[in-house]
Amino acid sequence: MKNLLSTPDFCRLLCLRKLTLCNCEELKEIHPSLGCHMGLEYVSVLDCYKLKKFPTIVRMRNLGTLEIQFCNDTLEFPEIQSNMESLVKLSLRYMRIDVLLSSIGERCVNLISLYLLNYTSLKSIEVDFDGLKHLEEFTFCGLNHLKTRNQLCISRLVGKVSCGKDWYTSHPSIRLWLTHSLTKLYLCDCGLRDGEIPSNIGELYNLQELHLGGNDFTRLEISLLQLNRLKLLILDGCKELVELPELPSGLYILYADTCHRLKAIGHFHKSCKYLSGVSLLYGSFIIGGARLLETMLQGNAVEHHSMMLCLQGIEIAKGFASPLLRESKCTLKLPENWCNDFCGFLICFISYRKILKWRHITLSTEHVMNDIDSEEDMVWDESDNDMYTRVWYVSFGSLRHTAWWDETKNMVSFSINMICGGFGVRPVPRRSGSGPTQTSAHYDGESRYAPKFRFLHDSAHGLDISF
């Protein structure tokens, strides 16, 4: 629809329920009747670069989703003149908003998802979100252009909430009041520094996902230990971060890539019982990876699920029980009664460069030709700390239903479809008192957050797994 110049009178389209305007490069204005259409349920306006005016919303009582993204940077947020009780998703990106209108909190009381991203002209935000009782997902990103700001406050309290000291009265201030019903919170690329992280985040007890990537704090000064439902924490791109916070016991995933000042892992993981995915890549050489891996292998994911650990450096590789080999394949001789005494395969490989997509690994029992004794071990030196270590864990519980599974196997060949700086596999001993049929009801209920793999090929002679 690149050549679309105008839209029709929507009052004549009584049966219209969904409207998408995408890549309408010549469209400058939408017919004002759109704001009076009471039958529309979905409106999406994307990449309409010349669009400078969106109709005033007069009566759109059935609208459930409104998306306005990547249009002209002078496009202003539309005035809302009536309640929008059906609106559950509002996504606004790259729009001209000098002061974020309070009409969002007043007119859109049933919102579940709210996305506010990249407002280059935003001067202040004084929105009372206390009316948004059903809000579960909030994204607020892209405020690095604000040079100074007061504290960002998050609370469910009614009325005024103190935003800290009033030093910067002549500069932009950010004030957000949110509800405890939030399950996802995105505060990425907001330039938050030490002392500016909202302490009230620690009181959002229903929070499952917290995204704080791209900020400028050195430490996460708030406590997350009371967030028992938190499953995902993202700190990617926090280049000033020097220390990771202690994590709640129920966390599954931590991403903190490109944190250049982070040198040591510390003890952030000591309380974690379900941690199954950690990535600390593209920053500095990290100390403490072996201890972190041990915590993960002692957790509740080990019997029936997969795990993933990615780190800068070769600390884990140097201490791997089965020495890593120079080739992209290796052969593992299985011990007697392996399927009962062990719970899964731990796969480790070293890469010289960033991997843009996950690779797949082949497990084969047919034509295992290479002589185990002839395989050449890796010899490490300090320069190898520039390499990347990736560890994958595949539980036997996730393999038992495959055609490949055979408890009488005594040897397995592993190969990976890439050139790597080292590759090895070892079986993981089962914890004392655990058994192959035991599982965790908590883990099964929340396993959507666990790292996933899929089977590309499954036969009695071979198994291809894609991570």
Distances (CA, A) of 74 to 71, 98, 121, 268, 420: 8, 11, 9, 45, 49
pLDDT tens, position by position, 111-127: 998 887 766 555 555 55
**Residue 149's pLDDT band (cuts 50, 70, 90):** very low
Closest CA to 256 of 192, 210, 320, 322: 210
Confidence check: pLDDT of 173 > 50: no
More confident residue, 433 or 334: 334
More confident residue, 291 or 143: 291
User: Quick one: tokens of 440?
Assistant: 């965790």
Residue 380: predicted pLDDT = 53
Q: Determine how β-strand 388-395 pairs with β-strand 422-429.
A: unpaired
pLDDT tens, position by position, 439-449: 444 445 556 78
In the chain, the percentage of residues whose pLDDT exceeds 70 is 78
Q: CB of 181 within 8 A of CB of 135?
A: yes
Distances (CA, A) of 122 to 101, 141, 146, 173, 205: 11, 12, 8, 10, 30
pLDDT tens, position by position, 347-376: 998 887 666 555 677 877 654 444 444 455
Confidence check: pLDDT of 137 > 70: yes
> Rounded distance, CA 346 to CA 83, Å?
55
Strand partners for 183? none
Q: Give per-residue burial for 136-155: e unless 16+ CB within 10 Å, then b.
A: bbbbbbbbeebeebbbbbbb
Write phi, then psi, for 422 (nearest 5 degrees): 170, 145
Mean pLDDT of the region 397-416: 92
> Rounded distance, CA 428 to CA 410, Å?
16
- Please tell me which of 35-44, 195-204, 276-285, 302-311 the model is most confident about, judged by mean pLDDT: 35-44
Could you tell me how far CA 224 lies from the centroid of its own chain? 17
Confidence check: pLDDT of 437 > 80: no
Mean pLDDT of the region 196-224: 89
> Rounded distance, CA 20 to CA 198, Å?
37
> Rounded distance, CA 264 to CA 286, Å?
5
Run of H or E including 174: strand 174-177
Run of H or E including 424: strand 422-429
Count of Cβ atoms closer than 10 Å to residue 260 Cβ: 14
Give the DSSP letter string of 302-360. Answer: TTTS-EEEEEESSHHHHT-SS--BSSSEEEEEPPTTHHHHEEEEEEEEEESS--SS--E
Residue 72: predicted pLDDT = 83
Closest CA to 412 of 339, 318, 304: 339
Closest CA to 222 of 56, 230, 135: 230
Mean pLDDT of the region 183-191: 84
Residue 143: predicted pLDDT = 55
Mean pLDDT of the region 457-467: 89
Amino acid occupying residue 19: L
Distances (CA, A) of 130 to 85, 149, 204, 237, 271: 16, 22, 14, 31, 33
Count of Cβ atoms closer than 10 Å to residue 378 Cβ: 18
Proportion of the chain in helix, strand, coil states, percent, rounded to 5: 10, 25, 60
Could you tell me how far CA 281 lies from the centroid of its own chain? 15
Distances (CA, A) of 9 to 36, 38, 40, 44, 332: 10, 14, 14, 17, 70
